[in-house]
Amino acid sequence: MTSASFPATRLRRTRASAWSRALHRETILTPADLIWPLFVTEGQGVEEPIASLPGVSRWSMDGIAERAKEAVALGIPCLALFPNTQPERRSENGAEALNPDNLMCRAICTIRDACGEDIGILTDVALDPYTTHGQDGLIDDQGYVLNDTTVEVLVGQALNQAEAGADIVAPSDMMDGRIGSIRAALEEANHANVQIMSYAAKYASAFYGPFRDAVGSGGLLKGNKKSYQMDPANSEEALREVAMDIAEGADSVMVKPGLPYLDIVRMVKDRFEVPVFAYQVSGEYAMIEAASAAGAGKREDLVLETLLAFKRAGCSGVLTYHAPLAARLLNG
């Protein structure tokens, strides 16, 4: 690295004007970097605001179709879907996940009818929106989440979503071996082009509370998820998780949550030659909204700065509830 000294080198020269700052900018954020998570509910003409996620709602099918059209108009390339399953359709074994007429599958078809191939559809593969106990898998008598029997159900869930038209299935359950089993099943069922975005480094985080409210599992959760989600103290383990999922057939990997784990994003990006995504989770979103409401910062600036941090750390894209706002700002 060449040495530089003042005044021959003045680093402020290139920052002196807007055109020069744009010319020398190292990291670029565009609407094409965003994935917009949406919550699906039953009914017609339904918009259910989520108290712990100000500005975010659950939408019935007609509302989901309108949000999809909005995303296309804004240049957002992909939607991530999460269902709020009715209590009477929940069960100990999460069987509703395998129903070809469940909320998720109907939402996929609704978006496809509204937008054709103009937008990608990413679907969550996990059982917590469908179980009465709020865990991401099947449990034994002691409440321990069973790995291998859960994987069998996850395979069926992923196939169900692929048959409905999902472009990307995103296993968020953190069971060992599920990526390989899902990839093999997709190949066998002639869904070779369905992508897998693995939640490869998903931490047992305190930032998920509002999301669990949104999908209706928060009040149901018995115990915690620390036996399968990662310990926030660990980073090398995240690399092992990512390596296993890539070897089993993941097309891309995700780090979740986002901002508190940017070091993990950078480690994964530097180690592996695959697209890395991050989820700016519900608690992160709610904190920005609370800070803005308290006058601690300008909402628009907070949103764009945090999203830019994801890109600078190495993300190919970001799942964020701020996607429509960010896209409008970026579109000018």
The CA-atom distances, in angstroms, between 114 and each of 22, 65, 66, 77 are 37, 6, 8, 15
CB atoms within 10 A of CB 253: 28
Say how many residues make up the chain. 332
269 is an active site residue: no
**Residue 286 main-chain phi, psi, to 5 deg:** -65, -35
What's the rounded Cα separation, in Å, for the pair 29 and 106? 32
The CA-atom distances, in angstroms, between 256 and each of 8, 9, 139, 207, 315 are 44, 40, 23, 10, 12
Cβ within 8 Å of residue 245, ≥6 positions away: 179, 198, 200, 253
The CA-atom distances, in angstroms, between 2 and each of 5, 24, 165 are 10, 19, 54
Catalytic residue among 225, 256, 269, 311: 256
202 is an active site residue: yes
Q: DSSP per residue over 204-246, as a string?
A: --GGGHHHHHHHT-TTT--S-STTTSBPTT-SHHHHHHHHHHH
* Residue closest to 224 by CA, chosen among 132, 108, 129, 145: 145
> Two tokens at 142?
């002691």
Helix (H) or strand (E) holding 59: strand 57-59
Amino acid occupying residue 124: D
Do the beta carbons of residue 247 and residue 317 sit within 8 Å?
no
Q: Is 307 helix (H, G, I), strand (E, B) or coil?
A: helix
Catalytic residue among 202, 225, 269, 311: 202
**What does the longest C-alpha to C-alpha distance in the chain come to?**
72
Catalytic residue positions, numbered: 202, 256
